[in-house]
Structure 1
Amino acid sequence: MNKPCIICVAITGSVPTKADNPAVPITVSEQIESTQEAYEAGATIAHCHVRNEDETPTSDPDRFAALKGGIEKHCPGMIVQLSTGGRSGAGRARGGMLPLQPDMASLSVGSNNFPTRVYENPPDLVDWLAAEMVAHDVKPEIEAFDLSHIFRAAEMHQNGKIKDRPYVQFVMGVKNAMPADRAVFDFYVHTVKRLFGEDAPWCAAGIGANQIVLNDWAISNGGHARTGLEDNVRLDRNTLAPSNAALVRRTAQICDKYERPVATWQEARRILGLRHVS
């Protein structure tokens, strides 16, 4: 199998702090530096959250703008994907950065349980976020925490609420949501191919110790992979990951194992149907 594999690096997230791992980048400058190292290690998508100075999550468009600009300057061609996740803000504030016109943005199309709360994605907010992505030419990445989310993405595509063929990422291993279950994973892949076509690109993300498990499942099955300190702060039970780049290099080693080349940013943009940049 020689199909290029896109590596997405989720650099920060909304939950991990420096108390969990000192390598977690918090400030915009730390995030830019960490992303550049991951880019040089092979990552071609940067999945981005921003934080306040006290490490709490925020949806501040100014911070997103500074981060986006820094990544574009120091990581030429890298795909910038901004998060509209619910831990960083409420209501339409979650989409306040979309006018910045990033290449991509995450889109959760349904609700589910998280470790200590409900991750609320009501239909009216989902429709508004999707409409903003259409208006600003931002490609959504569908974050599927449940099988129903894949079907909801298909319905939204059929109704014109998602412009292009959906790019779905399976998220497995979140406590109280979908566990890392191989039979379910295989059915997810089957469902994406049935709904969107045999050649539809898809990705998978595993949380915590499941990160390397989902990397292996996705890469060996022709999908794309997500890694990074947002999802997992360790290399193993006893070893903290020294950087996002270290997790990217580990993912690239799995690509080597299955004889899949790591996608260049040009290949990643072509696979995902994104605009070319010089």
Structure 2
Amino acid sequence: MTNPCIICVAITGSLPTKENNPAVPVSISEQIESTQEAFEAGATIAHCHVRDDKGKPTSDPARFAALKEGLEKHCPGMILQFSTGGRSGAGQARGGMLSLRPDMASLSVGSNNFPTRVYENPPDLVDWLASEMVAHGVKPEIEAFDLSHIFQAAKMHQDGRIKNRPYVQFVMGVKNAMPVDREVFDFYIRTVKRLFGEDVPWCAAGIGANQIVVNEWAISAGGHARTGLEDNVRLNRDELAPSNAALVRRAVELCGKYDRPVADFRQARQILELHAP
């Protein structure tokens, strides 16, 4: 294959702590430094969360603004993707940072079970988040935790709530949600292509030890890959990942195995139909 592979690095998330792995970047400055290293290793999308002074997840727009400023300075051209996930806030607070106009933002279009709770994405909130993304020129990344989420994204695209060509990410391996199953994965790919077109770009993320499994599936199947300490803090059963960059380099090696060039930020922007920085 010759189509370039976009590598997304999920740098910190809402759950991992330094107790889980000392390399988890929590402060804004730590996140900027970690992302810069991952960018230099080959990542071209930074999936971003922010934490408060106690290390707890927050949707504080001021913190997102500080992170955005630092990443634009130290990772010029990198695609910035803000999380609107439900662990960082409630209701419309989850989208309070969209007015900062990041390149992209995550959009979960339906609810599902998480390890200890229901991940609630009620239709009125989904519609509001989608409308804010349209208003501020932010491209959504559809986070599909379930097959129904792909069909809902297709419906939203058809009626104009999602503009332009959608970008769907399959999230597999979350406890109580979709497990890592190759037949399901392959069906997801066929479904996305059937609903959105054969040339539509897509991505996949695996949680924990499944990260490297899903990375390989996605890269070998012509999709794009997400890695990073948000989803997985280990290189293997016996070794913690020393950095986000180490996980990115692991994905880069897989690209080499399958003769996939790693997309630079210009190629990634072209593939995702994003404007130049």
Task: Report the Cα distance in structure 2 between the residues aligned to 1:266 and 1:273, rounded to whole angstroms.
Answer: 10
The amino acid of 2:68's aligned partner reads K
Amino acid at match of 1:213: V
Q: Per-residue CA shift, 1:64-118, capped at 9, x if unaligned?
A: 0000111010001000000000000000000000000000000000000000000
2:206 corresponds in structure 1 to: 206
1:55 is displaced (CA, Å) by 1.2
- Work out the CA distance in 1 between the residues paired with 2:164 and 2:116: 34
Alignment match, 2:221: 221
* TM-fit CA distance, 1:165: 1.4
Query: Which residue of the partner structure matches residue 134 of structure 2?
Result: 134
State the match for 2:271 in structure 1.
271
Distance 1:57 1:47 in 2: 14
Task: Give 1:264 shift.
Answer: 0.4
The Cα RMSD (Å) is 0.3
Once the two structures are superposed, the pairs formed by residues 1-278 of structure 1 within 5 Å of their partners are 1-277=1-277
Taking the aligned partners of 2:107 and 2:119, their CA distance within structure 1 comes to 13
Supply the distance in 2 between the matched residues of 1:53 and 1:181 (Cα, whole angstroms). Answer: 38
What SS class does the counterpart of residue 205 from structure 1 fall into? strand
Letter in 2 for 1:21: N
Separation in 1, partners of 2:34, 2:209: 21
Mapped to 1, the partners of 2:84 and 2:93 lie a distance apart of 9
Query: Residue 84 of structure 1: SS of its match in structure 2?
Result: coil
Summarize deviations over 1:179-231 as a string: whole Å, max 9, x none: 00000000000000000000000000000000000000000000000000000
Q: Could you list the runs of 5+ residues in structure 1 that have no partner in the other structure?
A: none
Structure 2 distance, partners of 1:125, 1:183, is: 32
Shift of 1:53: 1.7
TM-score (norm 1): 0.99
Q: Kindly provide the amino acid, as one letter, of the partner of residue 100 in structure 2.
A: L
Unaligned runs of 5+ in 2: none
Name the TM-score, length of structure 2 as normaliser.
Answer: 1.00
Q: Secondary structure at the match of 2:183?
A: helix
Q: Which amino acid aligns with 1:13?
A: G
Structure 1 residues 116-171: Cα deviation after superposition (integer angstroms, max 9, x where no partner): 00000000000000000000000000000000000000000001000111100000
Q: Show CA shifts across 1:20-75 (max 9, x none).
A: 00000000000000000000000000000000121110000000000011101000
Partner Cα distance (1:150, 1:53) in 2:
36
Q: Give percent identity, aligned residues only.
A: 80
Shift of 1:270: 0.1
Q: Tell me the distance in 2 between the aligned counterparts of 1:26 and 1:52.
A: 9
